[in-house]
Chain A
Amino acid sequence: MAQLQTIPTRPARVAALNRRYRHRAAIQVLREALSDPELGRVAMVSSFGADSVALLHMISLIDRTTPVLFIDTQMLFPETLTYQAEVAAKLGLTDVRTIRATPAAIAAADPDGDLNQTNPDACCDLRKTVPLNRALSSFDSWITGRKRFQGATRSEMEFFEEDPAGDRIKINPLAHWTARDVADYIANNRLPRHPLVSKGYPSIGCMPCTSPVKEGEDPRAGRWRGQDKTECGIHFVNGKMQRIPPAAPAPFVPADGQPVIVRDSGFGPEDWTGPILDLASDADLDDPDLRVGDATMIRIAFPSFTDGRGFTLARRLRVAGYKGRLRATGYVIADQLPMARRSGFDEVEIDADLARRQPWPHWRDAADAAPSYLKKLGRRAS
């Protein structure tokens, strides 16, 4: 007990991972990454753009419940939204999470939807980087579809990289693929293509920032055409020109008897239709009958906000490798949202009364990341 162990630093871990996986094919990298304890909880981030379907298809073969984060900048082509739904259904992906900037953030920074004209970097920040980082905060690693051929900025890219934006690891299973590999894979597996590809868009982002490219041009030449910009705050891109901002979605109103789900993006209605494993606050995780491994959603009860056992349960589940959705339910107050998130919960379920007494802004302000000592001390959240 209490043996001295050497725990490698993150850069060393990344280097070791790259060595270990050097000669693997994309699907092998992906398969092992999804079960490698070193990589912790893994999400896939996808734009549902021109090439995305290849990687999504591989994911669906390995584990259809893998969380897939789809960033809706609210500036996307309508075709992308339709295509997203079509691909998710066809591949049977069960946990596609749509990530958006909060209505408040948009109202504050880009009320007229024209920030992309004046300051595209700020626009990408607002609509992609910030929401994505928030969504990724409950994961240890994320899978991207980036490829070396996509540009000079990516020519050195490895399977595993440190994510400079947070202490996570980026996994790039397609790092060594060429455009040809992607096209072949899609054709061989008869996967649906994005409808805009046939209209001359080999790379598809937001409407204001994407235009078709001509024969022989770099496929990404259509992105931020005429600007210095080649990469957005995150790596892949959506883009478009839209003079009239899309109508804001109708605000969610808590209704009596209906649960309110609190996430980083705001209050929302119940959206889970699958089976739920309910755990009491005194659940014994060491009980072999508990079969947490089979669950896709675990919900932990908070009989009182003063009963902090659920935080330890959540953290233990995450450390044990549980990667599904994790929800705190019952009497949790706004000030506990950051504790819940940092202990491994994805979301909180409360009743309408509490949601009215402590409306979303209280939760949002409480969740605003405080500096974290644990992060500084190199303690993983799970």
Chain B
Amino acid sequence: MYHHSEFDRAFVIDRAERFRDQVNRRISGALTEEEFRPLRLMNGVYLQLHAYMLRIAIPYGTISPDQMRRLAHIADRWDKGYGHFTTRQNIQFNWPKLVDIPDMLDSLAEVGMHAIQTSGNTIRNVTADHFSGAAADEIADPRPYAELIRQWSTDHPEFQFLPRKFKIAVSGSPNDRAVVKSHDIGLRMVRRDDQIGFEVSVGGGLGRTPLVGKVVNEFVPTTDLLPYLEAILSAYNTVGRRDNKYKARLKIAVQELGIDHIRELVEARFAETRPMFDGSDQAVLAEIAKQFAQPELVEGRSTAAYDAARDADPVFRSWADTNLHDHKNPDYAIVTVSTKKHGATPGDATSDQMRLLADIAEEYGQGDLRISHEQNVVMPHIHRADLPAIHAKLREAGLGTANIGLVSDIIACPGLDYCALATARSIPIAQQIATRFDELKLEHEIGELKIKISGCINACGHHHVGHIGILGLDRAGVENYQVTLGGDGTETMSVGERAGPGFSKDEIIPAIERLVQGYLAIREDEDETFLQAYRRLGPAPFKAALYPAEEKAA
């Protein structure tokens, strides 16, 4: 995996120093609150409902055991002993004091981590497929490209004061696990003849106006990647609206001006940006790629221990069925550790859990850890023979939940418990749904079902792309939950449709239960997932399950 270089280290140390100085200048009054705001945001410091929040980047979701232990240390020393993994492969600490943040940044800098551009109107932390470098279906590891983009976008002098935040995601596989079309720029790796390149889409986004990204160029060779991205950003910095912050994202420009106009503009800018790059970026890319070389896997070791545990232990079997994915090498598996124990806050991990994950990754997993955008922790290279031992350790620490992709593997934003913008709570809803389906013992029968919950229309919980989406609103001071159906965040991306009137916080859990029971009643067989059934039958039978009273009245 990528080892931060001396250069990276010098950069983050310099940056932490600058931030310390900015805090001092804020305190002295040399910087007004308004001036300080974008500076603290571009260093990852948010002002939340109760306190400051520090959002730390985990670039393309890859983190080393030492870095994970440092996060645990930070949680213990400056926060409340836990951190929260987000849907953008970041980790947030919700309770730091402003005066402590420079020390936290120094501590992060020592292990090459930082909070740079995790907030604010800048190019944000680049996200990538969390199975990169391990998945059986990938064309090439997308992380070297993501790292190249990280370097290019970091402190880019032209793009620190954009109209609005800007998100880029990269997928190295035709199966898009990075939801690239819901990003301002989505890069999907494709092969043309012998060349690797990217299909580039622009103007995707969730939020209050969910839009699916449109393809602006079907094939950009990797050698042109940075100048091409620079052309898009340059165009966006010119045409992105600055008169209304709700209309400032690239997706609105694409919607208002049309993809053809944007394409023309980008191509004209590309003619300007291409000659600005002298080709050194390709040498840097080659250096980075070396660091992402495939880890050495053990050949010929027996997987009998795995098969035996599967036969003997139903708990292990159920975990193996849901939480493992195919590795390129059949003796290995990709393990996804659920941070979503029934009733817990999705995405939260305690410092002890972080340390345990670091230890396991070091002992069994090539020291490779990933954070997925579904807020879980991935160990991409685990020999099957080690799985029983790992599972036992995880269970002891409350990390053995077998629910990946299931109804309780819910994405939920922080909502009214933490977020200043929230109009409703989202975490308690997630907890209650998970607890309810655990009681019903139906989870495994239901199979793949993605529920996503946002606490306001900003949609940080990605509810638009949930098979079932839940949006918490405020109706005259009362929390009200709106349900959307049929969303999809993969390469077949679609935005969910609103089912009908919302539900109160007491009605929403029974409503979801009715909906899921309704699906079980109408599915063709147990292989037909919720989304497939929805696509086959349309919304009517699902709405009928959600609103039975109206059905009778009609």
Closest Cβ of chain B: how far from A201's Cβ, in Å? 42
Please give me the residue from chain A that is nearest to B230 by CB atom: A379
Known: A8-B278, A335-B22. Contact between A306 and B155, CB under 8 A?
A: no
A319 touches B280 (CB 8 A): no
Query: Taking the complex as formed, is A1 at the interface, i.e. its CB lies under 8 A from any CB of chain B?
Result: yes
Q: How far is the CA of A1 from the CA of B271 in the complex (A)?
A: 9
**Contact indicator per residue, chain A 300-314, by CB within 8 Å of chain B (1) or not (0):** 000001111101100
Q: Which residues of the other chain, B, contact A376 by a CB distance below 8 angstroms?
A: 7, 151, 280, 284
Stretch of B61-69, B158-166, B528-536 that contacts chain A: B158-166
Query: Taking the complex as formed, is A64 at the interface, i.e. its CB lies under 8 A from any CB of chain B?
Result: no
Q: Which residues of the other chain, B, contact A308 by a CB distance below 8 angstroms?
A: 121, 158-162, 237
Stretch of A76-84, A109-117, A234-242, A365-373 that contacts chain B: A365-373
Query: Which residues of A (309-354) have their CB < 8 Å from a CB of B?
Result: 309, 311-312, 315-316, 319-320, 333-336, 338-343
The residue among B121, B238, B284 with the most chain A CB atoms within 10 A of its own CB is B238
Stretch of B8-16, B467-475, B487-495, B543-551 that contacts chain A: B8-16
Q: Which residues of the other chain, B, contact A373 by a CB distance below 8 angstroms?
A: 11, 151-152, 154-156
Closest Cβ of chain B: how far from A374's Cβ, in Å? 7
Q: How far is the CA of A275 from the CA of B25 in the complex (A)?
A: 37
Q: How far is the CA of A308 from the CA of B272 in the complex (A)?
A: 19
Stretch of B100-108, B217-225, B297-305, B513-521 that contacts chain A: B217-225
Query: Taking the complex as formed, is B228 at the interface, i.e. its CB lies under 8 A from any CB of chain A?
Result: yes
Q: Which residues of the other chain, A, contact B155 by a CB distance below 8 angstroms?
A: 370, 372-373
Q: How far is the CA of A378 from the CA of B272 in the complex (A)?
A: 15
Q: Which residues of the other chain, A, contact B270 by a CB distance below 8 angstroms?
A: 1-2
**Contact indicator per residue, chain B 25-39, by CB within 8 Å of chain A (1) or not (0):** 100011100010011
A311 touches B280 (CB 8 A): no
A307 touches B11 (CB 8 A): no
Please give me the residue from chain A that is nearest to B263 by CB atom: A1
Q: Which residues of the other chain, B, contact A119 by a CB distance below 8 angstroms?
A: none
Query: Taking the complex as formed, is A133 at the interface, i.e. its CB lies under 8 A from any CB of chain B?
Result: no
B238 touches A6 (CB 8 A): no
Q: Which of A1, A307, A316, A340 contacts B272 (CB 8 A)?
A: A316
Q: Which residues of the other chain, A, contact B156 by a CB distance below 8 angstroms?
A: 373-374
B276 touches A380 (CB 8 A): yes
The number of chain A residues with a CB under 8 A from chain B is: 47
Please give me the residue from chain B that is nearest to A319 by CB atom: B272
A4 touches B223 (CB 8 A): yes
The residue among A7, A9, A319, A362 with the most chain B CB atoms within 10 A of its own CB is A7
Query: Taking the complex as formed, is B477 at the interface, i.e. its CB lies under 8 A from any CB of chain A?
Result: no
Query: Taking the complex as formed, is B256 at the interface, i.e. its CB lies under 8 A from any CB of chain A?
Result: no
The number of chain B residues with a CB under 8 A from chain A is: 54
Q: Which of A311, A319, A338, A370 contacts B161 (CB 8 A)?
A: A311
Q: How far is the CA of A239 from the CA of B11 in the complex (A)?
A: 37
Query: Which residues of B (131-163) have their CB < 8 Å from a CB of A?
Result: 148, 151-152, 154-162
Q: Which residues of the other chain, A, contact B443 by a CB distance below 8 angstroms?
A: none
Q: Which residues of the other chain, B, contact A357 by a CB distance below 8 angstroms?
A: 29-30
Q: Which residues of the other chain, A, contact B161 by a CB distance below 8 angstroms?
A: 305-308, 311, 336, 339
Q: Which of A311, A334, A343, A378 contacts B278 (CB 8 A)?
A: A378
Number of CB contacts from chain A to chain B under 8 A? 141
**Contact indicator per residue, chain B 271-290, by CB within 8 Å of chain A (1) or not (0):** 01111111111001000000
Please give me the residue from chain B that is nearest to A341 by CB atom: B157
Known: A311-B237, A312-B238, A333-B35. Contact between A7 and B158, CB under 8 A?
A: no
Query: Taking the complex as formed, is B3 at the interface, i.e. its CB lies under 8 A from any CB of chain A?
Result: no
Query: Taking the complex as formed, is B527 at the interface, i.e. its CB lies under 8 A from any CB of chain A?
Result: no
Query: Taking the complex as formed, is B97 at the interface, i.e. its CB lies under 8 A from any CB of chain A?
Result: no
Q: Which residues of the other chain, B, contact A35 by a CB distance below 8 angstroms?
A: none
Query: Taking the complex as formed, is B234 at the interface, i.e. its CB lies under 8 A from any CB of chain A?
Result: yes
Known: A362-B30, A371-B11. Contact between A377 and B221, CB under 8 A?
A: no
A338 touches B157 (CB 8 A): yes
Q: Which residues of the other chain, B, contact A10 by a CB distance below 8 angstroms?
A: 278
Q: How far is the CA of A363 from the CA of B17 in the complex (A)?
A: 15
Q: How far is the CA of A7 from the CA of B278 in the complex (A)?
A: 5
A379 touches B276 (CB 8 A): yes
Query: Taking the complex as formed, is B18 at the interface, i.e. its CB lies under 8 A from any CB of chain A?
Result: yes
Closest Cβ of chain A: how far from B116's Cβ, in Å? 11
Query: Which residues of B (240-283) have their CB < 8 Å from a CB of A?
Result: 242, 267, 270, 272-281
Q: Which of A8, A316, A366, A378 contacts B281 (CB 8 A)?
A: A378
Query: Taking the complex as formed, is B45 at the interface, i.e. its CB lies under 8 A from any CB of chain A?
Result: no
Closest Cβ of chain B: how far from A140's Cβ, in Å? 11
Query: Taking the complex as formed, is A358 at the interface, i.e. its CB lies under 8 A from any CB of chain B?
Result: yes
Q: Which residues of the other chain, B, contact A374 by a CB distance below 8 angstroms?
A: 152, 156-157
Please give me the residue from chain B that is nearest to A312 by CB atom: B237
Please give me the residue from chain B that is nearest to A366 by CB atom: B18
A307 touches B242 (CB 8 A): yes
Query: Taking the complex as formed, is A153 at the interface, i.e. its CB lies under 8 A from any CB of chain B?
Result: no
Closest Cβ of chain A: how far from B515's Cβ, in Å? 44
Closest Cβ of chain B: how far from A329's Cβ, in Å? 16
Query: Taking the complex as formed, is A227 at the interface, i.e. its CB lies under 8 A from any CB of chain B?
Result: no
Known: A308-B237, A316-B234, A339-B158. Contact between A7 and B217, CB under 8 A?
A: no
Query: Taking the complex as formed, is A5 at the interface, i.e. its CB lies under 8 A from any CB of chain B?
Result: yes
Query: Which residues of A (191-225) have their CB < 8 Å from a CB of B?
Result: none
Q: How far is the CA of A376 from the CA of B14 in the complex (A)?
A: 17
Q: Which of B154, B226, B234 contacts A379 (CB 8 A)?
A: B226
Query: Taking the complex as formed, is B21 at the interface, i.e. its CB lies under 8 A from any CB of chain A?
Result: yes
B226 touches A343 (CB 8 A): no
Q: Which residues of the other chain, B, contact A9 by a CB distance below 8 angstroms?
A: 278-280
Closest Cβ of chain B: how far from A54's Cβ, in Å? 33
Please give me the residue from chain B that is nearest to A318 by CB atom: B276
Q: Which residues of the other chain, A, contact B217 by a CB distance below 8 angstroms?
A: 1-2
Closest Cβ of chain B: how far from A28's Cβ, in Å? 24
Closest Cβ of chain A: how far from B541's Cβ, in Å? 46
Q: Which residues of the other chain, A, contact B279 by a CB distance below 8 angstroms?
A: 6-9, 378
Q: Which residues of the other chain, A, contact B30 by a CB distance below 8 angstroms?
A: 334, 357-358, 362
21 CB-based A-B contacts, threshold 8 Å: A2-B217, A2-B224, A2-B270, A4-B221, A9-B279, A9-B280, A307-B161, A308-B159, A311-B237, A316-B234, A335-B22, A339-B160, A341-B157, A371-B10, A371-B11, A373-B11, A377-B151, A378-B277, A379-B226, A379-B278, A382-B276
Given A7-B275, A340-B157, A341-B157, output 17 extra A-B contacts at Cβ < 8 Å. A2-B217, A7-B277, A308-B162, A309-B238, A309-B242, A315-B234, A319-B275, A335-B39, A336-B161, A339-B158, A339-B161, A357-B30, A362-B30, A373-B154, A378-B280, A379-B278, A380-B276
The 6 A-B residue pairs with the shortest CB-CB distance, nearest first, are A378-B280, A308-B161, A342-B157, A339-B157, A7-B279, A378-B278
